[in-house]
Amino acid sequence: MNLKRIFGAILTILGISGLLYAAYLFMNTQGSDQDVRGMIIYSVLGILFFSSGIGLVQATKDGS
């Protein structure tokens, strides 16, 4: 297995976990500024990690 594919898989898993945590914060938000700020930060980082991980896995050629 290629090192780039492993790194892409790790980024994808981090992105999914960031998006899930942002969804959890969204469901439990009381309306304070700190909750909304955390939700935005985790959702943006989750989308960034998820899209870069998927792109890295798709762009890597399989050598076998």
Query: What pLDDT score was predicted for residue 25?
Result: 87
- The Cα–Cα gap between 52 and 64 comes to 23
Q: Which range, 20-24, 27-31, 35-39, 56-60, is most confident?
A: 20-24
Q: Assess if residue 45 is contained within a domain.
A: yes
Q: Is the pTM of this model over 0.75?
A: yes
- The Cα–Cα gap between 54 and 25 comes to 24
Q: Which of 5-9, 20-24, 26-30, 42-46 has the lowest mean pLDDT?
A: 26-30
The total number of structural domains that make up the chain:
1
Domain that holds residue 17: 3-59
Q: Assess if residue 64 is contained within a domain.
A: no
Q: Number of H helices and number of E strands within the chain? A: 2, 0
Instruction: Give Cα 38 to chain centroid, integer Å.
Output: 14
Q: pLDDT band for position 63 (50/70/90)?
A: low
**φ, ψ at 2 (rounded to 5°):** -80, 145
Lookup result for tokens 């991980």: 53
